[in-house]
Amino acid sequence: MKGKIIKSTGSWYQVLEMETDRIFEARIRGKFKLIKTRLTNPLAVGDFVEFQLEQDDVAWITKIDQRRNYLIRKSVNLSKEAHIIASNIDVACFIFTLKHPETSLGFLDRFLACCEAYNIEPLILFNKMDVLHDEEIELVKDIEFLYQEIGYNSLEISSYSQLNLDDLQILLKDKTSVFFGHSGCGKSTLVNALQPGLNLKTSEISDTHLKGKHTTTFAQMHFWNFGGNVIDTPGVREFAMIDIEKEEVQHYFPEIFRKRKECKFHNCMHINEPKCAVLDALETGEIQHSRYSTYIKLMDEADELAQK
């Protein structure tokens, strides 16, 4: 039998059988060959699998199909291990909040680089627009313009005022999407707004630290009435790229990759080389310092991982 993983708690999985839409509780049997040896979990929500039924309708997963793509969560201390968050994604939505909680541009840039590396279409959602003052709204519009100039699609939204939710439904229709962002950024609230009656658990922002509490403890797929589905995930603190060479990192920053053709040396790493077009663009503001800073950090991390 063939199915799709729609929920993962770590030891048990829920599998949606493709032909009948029946849902089975499932476990793993045997060893799975992971696509990347540095990944810790053999299965993720979004995976297509083969399984067998035994007594009490318990399903045993016997095979996993090759993944089209996936996103992974970074492990602590730059270890070689990472955890798959979701797989076979059509569009990955990054929920950016200017406040409650504050989202760093570095976190957004790391997410976008991962989408570039694993061939996933990103969509930046500027959430909680209803709580912003005029000058804060202008700041969001400035940030939005910078990323649109690079080539990234974005949308200003609010779950409470319903701002642009109809437009978001059109973008998500008949696709497998996944929502990412800091805990408290409004992932579950947004899912509830797009799918009334789902009633995912939400929580308030901590007044002390202005950070969200983890309300989603495991990944689960939910289906939209308007077509398609979303993978709801626990709050992710940092994304990871594994098995990436230092020289490859520039490929995942479109504005840097475009500029590299103008560098004097074809193997320019854009650090301190002479006649580097990327460094010149950094000086003129054509490339943003925040983006370049993330680029350097990812190259340093790739270096450290290679030496472990």
Rounded Cα distance, 230 and 31, in Å: 28
Residue 270 marked in a binding site: yes
Q: pLDDT tens, 215-245? A: 445 889 999 999 999 998 876 777 777 778 9
Residue 115 marked in a binding site: no
**Sequence-distant (≥ 6) Cβ neighbours of residue 39 within 8 angstroms:** 72, 81, 82, 83, 84, 242
Residue 114 marked in a binding site: no
Q: pLDDT tens, 137-162? A: 999 999 999 999 999 999 999 999 99
Residue 159 marked in a binding site: no
Mean pLDDT in residue range 8-32: 86
- pTM confidence score: 0.89
Classified by CATH at the fold level, domain 246-307 comes out as: Ribonucleotide Reductase Protein R1; domain 1 (1.10.40)
Residue ranges of the chain that CATH labels 2.40.50.140: 2-66
Residue 181 marked in a binding site: yes
Residue 83 marked in a binding site: no
Residue 183 marked in a binding site: yes
Residue ranges of the chain that CATH labels 1.10.40.50: 246-307
Is residue 38 very low, low, confident or very high in pLDDT (cuts 50, 70, 90)?
low
Residue 185 marked in a binding site: yes
Whose structure tokens read 């996933």?
120
Residue ranges of the chain that CATH labels 3.40.50.300: 87-200+217-232
Residue 234 has which token pair? 């626990």
* pLDDT at 136 exceeding the cut of 50: yes
Q: pLDDT tens, 171-192? A: 999 999 999 888 889 988 999 9
Residue 129 marked in a binding site: yes
Mean pLDDT taken over the chain: 88
> In CATH, which superfamily holds the domain spanning 87-200+217-232?
P-loop containing nucleotide triphosphate hydrolases (3.40.50.300)
CATH no., domain 2-66 = 2.40.50.140
Residue 127 marked in a binding site: yes
